[in-house]
Amino acid sequence: MNFVDRLDEAASRNGSLLCVGLDPDPALMPEGVGVLDFSRAIVDATADLVCAYKLNLAFYEALEEEGFEALKGTVRHISGGIPVIGDAKRGDIGNTARAYARSLFDNLGFDAVTVSPYLGRDSLEPFLEYEDRGVFILCRTSNPGAVDFQSLICEADGRRPLFQVVADKAEQWNEHGNIGLVVGATYPEELRTIRQEHPDLPLLIPGIGAQGGELSLAVRYGVDRHGRRAIINSSRQVIFASSGKDFAEAARRAAIALRDQMRQACP
């Protein structure tokens, strides 16, 4: 089954647009809990509430050997057909991109990854060739600096901001039907534009909660005409809902609340 079908199925089965982001920052984690145990406990507490998980590689890499083991162990631990996205934002030339793709898809076993578009099509090909995996191309990121380059007006099929040109190219390059886009909830108008212009692409939407994006707009502007294909990520609000021993139960409560708010916001 291809990635988009797996995503649709998980979202439909759990009735959820929520993607729980695993960003295990030791400064915010409950004391005395290892990163693998932490990640597994969050997964166990939320597996029936999500359409996907997103693992942020930076936080695992920062923990060296322990983090590397936890990364592998967490991906393996997620079962039941829930897609697991490796948030790696890689982007490099051909033979290097191939090594990253092998690492993320073959070794670590991710169902999808995030990639950066700056190097162009041939830097994405090694990922896209894994036809059953998803490839989310950074389009409009959720951070303030997104405006520095992504908003530049470019001469391409008329005058269009760079992030829209990236989305146009992504659509053109989507021969295997495995491309999605990353569009931040912190830019709702841009999200709306991207969804209007690309009615079928899965959108990975970070930025609600701590970053200030509004959940209801992320849902309303992010979903396709069937109310699907918006993968709305929440990391800190769920996984650090409590810093005590009840962190997993607190994560479950937070995930239920978010799932329900997303359902209500769905047009």
Instruction: Identify which of residues 68 and 253 has a Cβ nearer to a second copy in the complex.
Output: 68
Question: Does 175 sit near a second copy (CB under 8 A)?
Answer: no
Which is closer to a second copy, CB of 67 or CB of 83? 67
Alpha-carbon gap, residue 104 to 127, rounded angstroms: 9
Residue 135 CB, nearest approach to a second copy (Å): 14
Give the E-state strand segments of 91-246 in sequence order.
Answer: 112-115, 134-140, 153-155, 159-161, 179-183, 203-205, 230-234
Q: Give yes or no for residue 1 binding a second copy (CB under 8 A).
A: no
What is the contact mask toward a second copy in residues 78 to 107, using x (rule: CB under 8 A)? Answer: -----------xxxxxxxxx-xx-xx---x
The alpha carbon torsion through 147, 24, 84, 48 (nearest 10 deg) reads -110
Structure token pair of residue 120: 């162009």
Q: How far apart (Å, rounded) are the C-alpha atoms in residues 152 and 139?
A: 13
DSSP 24-41: --TTTSPTT--HHHHHHH
Decide if 72 is catalytic: no
138 binds a second copy per the rule CB under 8 A:
yes
Indicate the DSSP class of residue 103: I
Span near a second copy by CB under 8 A; candidates 8-16, 35-43, 63-71, 212-220: 63-71
H or E, element range at 218: helix 215-222
Residue of 54, 89, 169, 245 marked active site = 89
Instruction: Choose one: 154-162, 187-195, 221-229, 254-262; the region binding a second copy (CB under 8 A).
Output: 154-162
Neighbour-count burial for 78-111, b at 16+ CB within 10 Å, e otherwise? beeebbbbbbbbbbeeeeebeebbeebbeebebb
Residue 147 makes contact with a second copy by CB under 8 A? yes
Nearer to a second copy, 4 or 97 (CB): 97
How many chain residues bind a second copy (CB under 8 A)?
A: 55
Write down the least CB distance from residue 266 to a second copy, Å.
Answer: 26
Site for a second copy, residues 107 to 136, rule: CB under 8 A: 107, 116-124
Residue 23: CA count within 13 A, CB half-sphere:
17
Q: Give dist(CA 128, CA 86) in Å, integer.
A: 14
Dihedral sign of CA atoms 91, 95, 100, 102 in order: positive
142 binds a second copy (CB under 8 A): yes
Q: Does 76 bind a second copy (CB under 8 A)?
A: no
**Positions marked catalytic:** 89
Q: Give contact residues for a second copy (rule: CB under 8 A).
A: 23, 25, 56, 58-59, 61-62, 64-65, 68, 89-97, 99-100, 102-103, 107, 116-124, 138, 141-150, 152-156, 159, 162, 165-166, 169, 211
